[in-house]
Amino acid sequence: MVPVILDERDRSELLERFLRYVQIDTQSDENSSTSPSTVKQKDLARLLAAELRELGVEDARMDEWGYVWGSVPGNLPGAEALPAHIPTVGLIAHLDTYHGTPGGGVKPQVIRDYRGGDIPLPGTVGERIAVAENPNLERCLGHTIVTSDGTTLLGADDKAGVAEIMMLVAWLRRHPEFHHPPLRLAFTTDEEVGRGTEHFDVPAFGADVAYTLDGSDLGEIEDETFCADSALVTIQGHDVHPGYAKGIMVNAVRVAAALVERLPKEFLPETTEGREPYLHPYDVRGDVAKVELKFLVRAFTEEELAEREASLRAAVAEVQGLFPRARIAVEIKESYRNMAYQLAQDPRVVEYAFEAVRRSGLEPQRKAIRGGTDGARLSFMGLLTPNIWAGGQAFHSVREWVSLEWMAKAVETTLHLLEVWLERSIAR
């Protein structure tokens, strides 16, 4: 059996790849109707397709949507061709970064042999990554830590996953004696705006099972996501010169403020944790005549999701009574559903991931994501796709950081996962 370990050279390459990728601006745009939502995502896509070809992935390409595709043939000792029952495993990460925090001009800061304590961010006066808010830093003493300079996010979500998959391909090329099933690779666009699988052709991808590398803490396998909907509340008011507005003006801004104030305080993101659902007002646009309010609705069950939507409608009804001349409309759209509903169809998909974590010398941590991944939609599209940690912390924030050692362990665990799928499939 080939030892599965990233040596110093591998880790140096993993870091170099990550630093190169995060400096390419790939922010998506939730208000764009194009696909990808920002053309700059293709800058990284082109680079990855070219690098994959340099690594021997002959069919690597970027399509018109900015997705990158590629495949690595499987191998088996003493066999010219793999048996038909050997599954093809997909590995997926997303190219785009979060749209709500500055993401261009990332200046990564590399801290080698981290000795503990808060981490100052040199781009802003007084900005720091506090241990009190990031207890995982205490688990990373002696590690190489990467942050931004504090003026932008870092982009570990999900360029850590991108770099890890690229490093895995490079490792496989260096170790042809390592036996593994066939691989399919995909880097997607627009995951952060909920459109990462919009043009994902599951049959053409050709994988029997897949894994996203897009999680957080060491050893975590994420097999649940929120059930998610979005809500748009449109408030139509009536504008008139404020000097002559008595009895005439209907101020949509005031109506919106009254609605936000009446949301159940116990079901906001800032008051919930664990498996608690939330209702999150996150975008307000408009003026006296018209305001649009966007909400995220999240819960781990469809029943709780419906309850949160009912609470929004109840708040709207109350506000409508206070402002009878305003016109308030609520539109609910489905985003994704808890992938646990689908993963239950084949327990091997998660069990093999747990075994891979153990082979890496770690205790697997099963986690439900208070969010979503491309894997949620893919699972409902027929491709079961749980999530493997990628190592990033404090996602979507200028205080985002990642441990190189945790990234390396994600690569090693994914290699073990390929090993497990091959061994168990041969033994059937």
DSSP string, 210-242: EEEEEE-STTEEEEE--EEEEEEEEEE-B---G
> Looking at the structure, do residues 286 and 258 belong to the same domain, yes or no?
yes
- Of the candidates 10, 158, 191, 309, the residue annotated as catalytic is 191
Quick one: pLDDT at residue 80? 65
Name the residue with tokens 């949507």: 65
Name the residue with tokens 């305001």: 291
Domain edge (last residue) among 335, 353, 370: 335
Count of structural domains, the chain: 2
> Looking at the structure, do residues 329 and 356 belong to the same domain, yes or no?
no
> Looking at the structure, do residues 360 and 331 belong to the same domain, yes or no?
no
Rounded CA-CA distance 326/295 in Å is 20
> Among this protein's residues, is 191 annotated catalytic?
yes
- Whether 1 is in a domain gets the answer no
Task: Enumerate the β-bridge partners of residue 160.
Answer: none
> Looking at the structure, do residues 301 and 362 belong to the same domain, yes or no?
no
> Looking at the structure, do residues 151 and 217 belong to the same domain, yes or no?
yes
Confidence (pTM): 0.90
Query: Interior CA angle at 102 toward 189 and 41, to 5°?
Result: 20
Domain edge (last residue) among 295, 315, 335: 335
Which residue range(s) make up the domain with 238? 227-335
> Among this protein's residues, is 29 annotated catalytic?
no
Quick one: pLDDT at residue 373? 84
In 3-state terms, what secondary structure has residue 5? coil
Residue 22: which CATH number?
3.40.630.10
- Of the candidates 96, 214, 222, 229, the residue annotated as catalytic is 96
pLDDT of the chain, 428 residues: tens digit per residue: 788 999 999 999 999 999 999 999 999 998 999 999 999 999 999 999 999 999 999 999 999 999 999 999 999 876 667 777 899 999 999 999 999 999 999 999 999 999 999 999 999 998 999 999 999 999 999 999 999 999 999 999 999 999 999 999 999 999 999 999 999 999 999 999 989 999 999 999 999 999 999 988 999 999 999 999 999 999 999 999 999 999 999 999 999 999 999 999 999 999 999 999 999 999 999 999 999 999 999 999 999 999 999 999 999 999 999 999 999 999 999 999 999 999 999 999 999 999 999 999 999 999 999 988 899 999 999 999 999 999 999 999 999 999 999 999 999 999 999 999 999 998 77
> Looking at the structure, do residues 72 and 193 belong to the same domain, yes or no?
yes
Domain edge (last residue) among 318, 335, 352: 335
